[in-house]
């Protein structure tokens, strides 16, 4: 192992530090840069082996950009992504190739993420073809094994994606992600394009695969209720920044950030027992602000139910509010 | 398990049969496209078996120079010579039959070349984009800004007039249309998630362009290919007519019309039958192309 890995206190699979992904806004004839969108703005987190970290937030908060930047489908504009001790944030496409075997992405919409002109067997075998692994017979065998793994009949391999249902397509996408035995899966809203009944099955498949294969999941979702069972830790994201980060249980039992309170409050109550999680019902007000022109101070203050004058002036930092629990709010300073 | 396997397999086969049935149905809905298919099939058959179909293959220059029979010149259409004979007494029907070979070969060569250049240019420009993409597409626009026949003339004139050089001239004119067609398709396909997914797997650009994107733009290329065969044949005949293509006594349709023009209207059959052959070929490819457009459900142009 290289020197860089020696000074790690623990051994997380993934350590993201101060990650930034800014998109320039250009205008005028000469395409001059007139501003920027801070899609991911100084996000830090760690993800242990076999652990699931869920990133939750409304649409447009940058959570998908975060996931895709970690998987190096986008190039970060700042910060570092330490994967297994190696900073993959600055690697070139060529240097990334071996890393791509370890990090795989499952996309939101399986109809779009599977090539409609290819048979399932070629889709699932593609990672092996690209990395030149195995003989024809070995690849065929692996495809059969993977389809069985995701509970699909092996004869589906002769089909085209359009001959499968949405849930079956997503299982194929999961099988493809598993082909090269990765250690990290970035799950980008893996169930939000599926029927509710199918969602539960896909989630339990993902849990089962994690137990069997020791996978780490970075799960991107807008649905906080979905994370309760599957996530070990949860990060709540708003306008490119993490607002609160905590173990799943503490986040649901003892949310510290007003934004998290609002998100929790928005989950419909199905069972009485769930009511316990809920603070008094607070509805989220207004729309997400324009990310190219974020509000001053705390970016959430125009929609917050606990806004005070100070919120528009100072931007709060993430502070420790409990064991492994951090949050970003001006009120945390008051209570200290 | 095996009964489930069988069921799944038979269901998949059913699906495929079903989609074949749907294609057949859509073709039937458009009977003209079947006519087109029939015409093209007939032309291909005639081109391949020309020496066995033509009664006087030697008149068309089969195995040597075209024969002459001055005693028999300008015979009117009759049972012996259904299309009549020309100024050298050669059987026009036999020459028209052999002309099929020249026209189909010209169309195939021109479009193979045009697709071979235009499709990669469109794929690269569309996927890579940026400066390279802009440069390629502006170059394409320069070619597209001149009417095809005029540009083909400009290329053909400085070359020795021959069938081969006519093919080259038309091919040079033709590739930009494929570049533009493919470019437009690629720009929409490259936003699909499976392209990003392939990148996430570690696939190279070349692999993404040719293995992921190309199969998704084949349908419009196929339709345009069929429609263009007719136009390419037409332009090839046009160059032949102007004396810039195949030279007499080659039995090329356009060349034959030009030769016969001097004998109009008295020996009307000389120019008329090669003209009808061109008409038939262009019609056939157009009808087939229209049918394919409906079956494959694509927009071209």
Task: Give the domain ranges of chain B.
Answer: 31-296
Mean pLDDT of B191-213: 94
In this structure, is the dihedral angle defined by the CA atoms of residues A286, A288, A290 and A295, taken in order, positive or negative? positive
A100 touches B: beta carbon within 8 Å: yes
Residue with the bigger pLDDT between B138 and B249: it is B138
Asked if residue A260 has a cis previous peptide bond (ω within 30° of 0), the answer is no
Write down the mean pLDDT value for chain B.
88
Which uninterrupted H or E stretch holds A333? helix A331-335
Supply A70's token pair. 């970690």
**Local confidence band at A20 (pLDDT 50, 70, 90 cut-offs):** very high
In this complex, the residue of A108, A117, A159 whose CB is nearest that of residue B12 is A159
pLDDT at A13: 94
Interface test with B, best of A104, A117, A168 (most B CBs within 10 A): A117
Whether A73 and B4 lie within 8 Å, measured CB to CB: no
List of chain A residues whose C-beta atoms are within 8 Å of the C-beta of residue B199: 73
Average pLDDT over residues A124-135: 95
Residue pair A84/A103 in contact by the 8 Å Cβ criterion: no
Contact B194 A163 (CB under 8 A): no
Q: Where are the beta strands (DSSP E) in chain A?
A: 14-27, 32-47, 52-56, 78-83, 86-87, 103-106, 184-188, 216-221, 233-238, 241-247, 318-322, 325-328
pLDDT (tens digit per residue) in B118-165? 999 999 999 998 899 999 999 999 999 988 888 888 888 888 888 888
Q: Give the closest of A105, A116, A163 to B12, CB-based.
A: A163
Least confidently predicted of A80-89, A314-323, B25-34, B100-109: B25-34
Q: Is A276 in CB contact (< 8 Å) with chain B?
A: no
The nearest CA of chain A is from the CA of B288 a distance in Å of 23
Whole-number Cα distances in Å, B216 to A59, A129, B49, B194: 30, 20, 36, 11
**Percentage of chain A lying above the pLDDT 70 cut:** 91
Closest by Cα among B249, B239, B243, B250 to B169 = B239
What's the rounded Cα separation, in Å, for the pair B255 and B259?
Answer: 6
Residue B57: pLDDT band (50, 70, 90) is confident
Residue in chain B closest to A178 (alpha carbons) equals B201
A116 CB near a chain B CB, below 8 Å? Answer: yes
Quote the pLDDT of residue A307: 87
pTM of this prediction exceeds 0.90:
no
Cβ separation B201–A126 shorter than 8 A: yes
Of A21-25, A245-249, B157-161, B183-187, the poorest mean pLDDT is in B157-161
From residue B173, how far is each of A199, B134, B143, B194, B244 by CA, in Å?
54, 20, 7, 34, 15
* CA distances (Å), origin A70, targets A15, A40, A247: 10, 11, 21
> Is the Cβ of A92 closer than 8 Å to some Cβ of chain B?
no
* Mean pLDDT value across residues B276-296: 92
Domains of chain A, first to last: 3-335 (3.40.50.300)
- Is 80 exceeded by the pLDDT of residue A62? yes
DSSP per residue over A250-284, as a string?
A: HHHHS--SHHHHHHHHTSPP-SGGGGGG--S--PP
pLDDT of residue A174: 96
Give the pLDDT of residue A80.
95
- Which pLDDT score, from 0 to 100, does residue A7 have? 40
Of B67-71, B267-271, B285-289, the one with minimum mean pLDDT is: B67-71
**Cβ-Cβ contacts under 8 Å, A156 against chain B:** 8, 12
Would the ipTM clear 0.90, i.e. be above it?
no
Chain A hits for B8, CB-CB cut-off 8 Å, are 153, 155-156
- Residue B220 near residue B299 (C-beta atoms within 8 A): yes
For the stretch A226-283, pLDDT in tens is 888 899 999 999 999 999 999 999 999 999 999 999 888 888 766 666 555 555 667 6
Considering only CA atoms, which of A264, A255, A248, A243 is closest in space to residue A327? A243
Q: Please report which helix (H) or strand (E) contains residue B192, including its range.
A: none
CB-CB under 8 Å, A176 with B194: no
CA distance A237 to A137: 45
Contact yes or no for B201 and A117 at CB 8 A: no
Q: Residue A212: CB partners within 8 Å, gap ≥ 6?
A: none
**What pLDDT was estimated at residue A4?**
40
Sheet holding A216-221, edge to edge: A103-106, A184-188, A216-221, A52-56, A233-238, A241-247, A325-328, A318-322
Contact B197 A113 (CB under 8 A): yes
Contact between residue A174 and residue A205 where contact means Cβ atoms under 8 Å apart: yes
Nearest to B194 among A100, A115, A158 (CB): A115
Would you say residue A99 has pLDDT above 90? yes
CATH of domain B31-296: 1.10.3720.10
Instruction: Identify how many contiguous H helices and E strands chain B contains and give both numbers.
Output: 12, 0
Average pLDDT over residues B178-195: 94
pLDDT band for A188, please (50, 70, 90 cuts): very high
Contacts of B226 (CB under 8 A, 6+ apart): B285, B288, B289, B292
Contact between A121 and A172 under an 8 Å Cβ cutoff? The reply is: no
Whether A71 sits inside 8 A of B200 (CB atoms) is yes
Task: Check CB contact of A159 with chain B, cutoff 8 Å.
Answer: yes
B256 Cα to chain A: minimum distance (Å): 46
Among the residue ranges A297-311, B200-214, B266-280, the one predicted with the least confidence is A297-311
Q: How many CA atoms lie within 13 A of B266 on its CB side?
A: 6
Nearest to A105 among B9, B200, B204 (CB): B200
In this predicted structure, the answer to whether residue B200 has a pLDDT above a threshold of 50 is yes
What pLDDT, on the 0 to 100 scale, is given for residue A3? 41
Report the chain A residue with the minimal C-alpha distance to residue B206: A130
pLDDT of residue B4: 57
| Closest residue, chain B, to A154 (C-alpha) | B5
Give the mean pLDDT of chain A. 88
Q: Is pLDDT of A93 > 60?
A: yes
**Chain B residues with CB-CB distance to A100 below 8 A:** 200-202
């Amino acid at each position: 192992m290289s020197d860089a890995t020696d000074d790690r206190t623990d051994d997380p699979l993934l350590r993201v530090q101060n990650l930034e992904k800014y998109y320039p806004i250009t205008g005028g004839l000469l395409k001059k840069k007139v501003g920027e969108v801070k899609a991911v703005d100084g996000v830090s987190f760690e993800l242990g082996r076999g652990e699931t970290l869920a990133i939750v937030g409304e649409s447009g908060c940058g959570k998908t950009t975060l996931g895709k930047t970690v998987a190096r489908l986008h190039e970060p504009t700042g910060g570092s992504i330490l994967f297994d001790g190696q900073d993959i944030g600055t690697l070139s496409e060529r240097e990334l190739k071996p890393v791509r075997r370890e990090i795989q992405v499952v996309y939101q919409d399986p109809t779009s993420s599977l090539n409609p002109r290819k048979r399932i067997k070629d889709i699932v075998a593609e990672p092996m073809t690209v990395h030149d692994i195995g003989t024809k017979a070995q690849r065929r065998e692996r495809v059969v094994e993977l389809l069985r793994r995701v509970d699909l009949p092996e004869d589906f391999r002769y089909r085209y994606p359009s001959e499968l249902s949405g849930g079956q397509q997503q299982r194929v996408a999961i099988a493809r992600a598993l082909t090269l035995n990765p250690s990290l899966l970035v799950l980008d809203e893996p169930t939000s394009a599926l029927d509710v009944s199918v969602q539960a099955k896909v989630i339990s498949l993902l849990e089962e695969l994690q137990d069997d294969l020791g996978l780490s999941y970075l799960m991107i979702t807008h649905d906080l209720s979905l994370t309760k069972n599957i996530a070990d830790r949860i990060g709540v994201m708003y306008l490119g920044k993490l607002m609160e980060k905590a173990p799943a249980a503490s986040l649901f039992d003892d949310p510290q950030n007003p934004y998290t309170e609002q998100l929790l409050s928005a989950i419909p109550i199905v069972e009485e027992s769930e009511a316990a999680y809920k603070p008094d019902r607070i509805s989220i007000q207004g729309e997400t602000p324009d990310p190219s022109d974020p509000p001053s101070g705390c970016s959430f203050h125009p929609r917050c139910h606990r806004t005070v004058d100070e919120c528009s002036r100072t931007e709060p930092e993430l502070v420790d509010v409990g064991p492994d629990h951090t949050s970003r709010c001006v009120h945390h300073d008051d209570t200290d | 398990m095996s009964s489930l396997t069988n069921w799944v397999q038979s269901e998949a086969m059913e699906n495929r049969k079903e989609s074949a049935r749907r294609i057949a149905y859509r073709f039937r809905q458009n009977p003209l496209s079947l006519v087109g298919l029939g015409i093209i099939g007939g032309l291909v058959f005639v081109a391949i078996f020309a020496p066995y179909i033509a009664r006087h293959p030697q008149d068309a220059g089969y195995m040597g120079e075209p024969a002459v029979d001055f005693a028999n010149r300008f015979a009117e259409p009759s049972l012996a010579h259904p299309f009549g004979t020309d100024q050298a007494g050669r059987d026009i029907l036999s020459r028209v039959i052999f002309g099929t070979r020249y026209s189909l070969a010209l169309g195939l060569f021109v479009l193979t070349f045009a697709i071979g250049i235009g499709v990669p240019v469109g794929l690269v420009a569309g996927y890579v984009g940026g400066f390279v993409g802009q440069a390629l597409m502006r170059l394409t626009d320069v070619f597209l800004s001149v009417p095809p026949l005029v540009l083909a003339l400009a290329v053909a004139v400085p070359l020795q007039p021959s069938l081969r050089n006519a093919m080259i001239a038309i091919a040079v004119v033709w590739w930009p249309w494929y570049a533009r067609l493919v470019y437009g398709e690629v720009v929409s396909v490259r936003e699909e998630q499976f392209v990003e997914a392939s990148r996430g797997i570690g696939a190279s650009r070349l692999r993404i362009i040719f293995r992921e994107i190309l199969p998704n733009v084949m349908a419009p290329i196929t339709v345009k290919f069929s429609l263009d065969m007719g136009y390419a044949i037409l332009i090839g005949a046009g160059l032949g007519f102007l004396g810039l293509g195949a030279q007499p006594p080659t039995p090329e349709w356009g060349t034959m019309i030009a030769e016969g023009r001097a004998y109009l209207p008295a020996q009307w059959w000389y120019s008329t039958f090669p003209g009808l052959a061109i008409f038939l070929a262009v019609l056939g490819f157009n009808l087939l192309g229209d049918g394919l457009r409906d079956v494959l459900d694509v927009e071209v142009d």
